[in-house]
Structure 1
Amino acid sequence: MPLPRERVDEWMDDPALSPERHRHALSGLRRLNRISGVAGAMFRQLKRLAAATPERPLRILDVASGSGDLPIAWLKAARHSGIPMSVTALDISEVAMQTASESASVSGVQLGTVRRDCLREGLPGGFDVVTCSLFMHHLDPPDVSRLIQEMWRASERAIVICDLERSRTNLALVAASARLVTRSDVVHFDASASVRGAYTRHEFSKMMNASLGFPVRVRRSFPCRFMVVIDQQCETECIAELSPGMVGVGP
């Protein structure tokens, strides 16, 4: 039996959450992201996009970036690979952006930060790629569509989205992983809530198609996630690959 979508407010989104518990939860999320390998999966896409502009840094905006652990990992990988890359993290939380700045300094990388409500204030321009990881499941469909359209508008080259996929198996795996890697009760609650509020690949594909007006392929990204990469330079080619009646859900 499919797991029905049930979105509840996550504890980390509560403005009343103390800075200490917030930082502890952000640390737990960093551990979860590390074992999931999501930073590497997204970096491979960014590396491919960077190859098109070798003469200058690839300019990336990461939306709802949290503690900035993914952008920091990308910058470290880019430095190791000799790939010019400039990354800005954006989040509504002052605690998250302070944590991101501190972590970037410790890691020896230069990370820009912007504190902004991406839904109410929109996104800044001047970026080749706009990315978003583990945020779409916080939103109901109207806000998902609004953010997708805003990411598409703000990007000059591509958008990359990675999020949890809702299923009973993923719910069990994510809940167990959260309890293994952190003692944060915030993460324990939010991990399960995140999967329950997440979308299936089919649901997300339909929202992408409705938001942008052309077919979009949503691929499975192990473990427990899906990924969408839309490159404006090959949009026409991507559309041609899909027949008009084909649902954009890939393996």
Structure 2
Amino acid sequence: MPVTDDGGPGLLQAMATLDHRDARVRELMDDPGADPDALDRTYRRFGLVNRIVSRPAAVYEEWVRPRLATTHAARMLDIGAGGGDLPWRILQLARRDGLRLEVVAIDPDERAVRAASRFSDPRFHARAGNSADLVAEGETFDVVWSNHVLHHLTAAELGALLADTERLVAPGGIGVHGDIERGRGAYLAFWAATLPFAWNVFAGSFIRRDGLTSIRRSHTAPELAGAVPRGWRVKRGFPSRLELVWGSEIPDD
């Protein structure tokens, strides 16, 4: 297969494969031997990409803010938080609104935890671990969230994550796993939107190559709906987003 300058498949060749999920391809940043400088640049650039692709303000308004109050701190868990930019942004939005929130951001990769630890706030806790660790500790949260984790998982790993989520969601809480929806439109849009920045803003990082790989690994809405147990529901969002939801969408009084 022909490759582009960033080492990925050519645009037309990649677009032709998107009818099926390609779980064989791997993101460069998942390599334990990934260049540490490039990895650090990737974590630090995620905030720019996620403002557009993952839309933390929209996540906050739909899923987090309805569960916050001025009198007590709600708890949010971000599973596979990477560099921590998305939960950090949500914490700042809650602070702006005078609402109380405590965030726990976990990732099994110590390199990600080190990157997330650059954010300093007594209500923001970055730690190494996975969802099973917190289940074993008896933790519960008002919001259990993940972003761009699902496409990394095998079927068995997906089932384990969803079972853990059901245990981690407190009564009246919500579990939401956000991801990309695979499609030619999503692939072309990301390819075109990141191209002008490939040699400047994203230079020396894995953002462009890994973002395109992520789309190839991702599910469509019907695929994801067919892969999850009863009680979970799939919602489509913008741009080319999927949200896998468990629990009450309206908080208890």
Q: Normalising TM by the smaller chain, what interval? A: 0.7 to 0.9
Report the identity percentage: 27
- Aligned equivalents of 1:118, 1:23: Cα separation in 2: 24
* Cα gap change, 1:46 to 1:79, in 2 (>3 Å): same
* Cα gap change, 1:233 to 1:175, in 2 (>3 Å): closer
Q: Does 1:193 align with 2:193?
A: no
Which position in structure 1 is the counterpart of 2:182? 166
User: Map of 1:76-95 to 2, 5 A cutoff?
Assistant: 76-95=92-111
Which position in structure 2 is the counterpart of 1:137? 151
* Cα gap change, 1:192 to 1:154, in 2 (>3 Å): same
Which position in structure 2 is the counterpart of 1:202? 222
Which position in structure 2 is the counterpart of 1:13? 30
Q: Which amino acid aligns with 1:59?
A: R
CA contact (8 A) 1:221 1:227 kept: yes
Which position in structure 2 is the counterpart of 1:239? none
TM-score (norm 2): 0.81
* Cα gap change, 1:111 to 1:50, in 2 (>3 Å): same
* Cα gap change, 1:122 to 1:15, in 2 (>3 Å): farther
- Aligned equivalents of 2:85, 2:246: Cα separation in 1: 23
Long gaps (5+) in structure 1: 236-251
* Cα gap change, 1:180 to 1:72, in 2 (>3 Å): farther
The match for 2:47 among 25, 30, 37 is 30
Which position in structure 1 is the counterpart of 2:85? 69
Q: Which amino acid aligns with 2:236?
A: R
Corresponding residue SS for 1:3: coil
- Higher relative helix content: 1
Which position in structure 1 is the counterpart of 2:244? 228
Long gaps (5+) in structure 2: 1-15
CA contact (8 A) 2:140 2:167 kept: no
- Aligned equivalents of 2:205, 2:20: Cα separation in 1: 24
CA contact (8 A) 1:72 1:109 kept: no
Q: Does 1:153 align with 2:167?
A: yes
- Aligned equivalents of 2:113, 2:234: Cα separation in 1: 29
Which position in structure 1 is the counterpart of 2:193? 177
Which position in structure 1 is the counterpart of 2:75? 59
Deviations 1:223-251 (A, max 9, x none): 1211233324869xxxxxxxxxxxxxxxx
Query: How far did residue 172 of structure 1 move?
Result: 1.2
Q: Which amino acid aligns with 2:35?
A: S
* Cα gap change, 1:26 to 1:176, in 2 (>3 Å): farther
CA contact (8 A) 1:92 1:118 kept: no
* Cα gap change, 1:122 to 1:87, in 2 (>3 Å): closer
Q: Which amino acid aligns with 2:211?
A: A
Cα RMSD between the aligned structures? Answer: 2.3
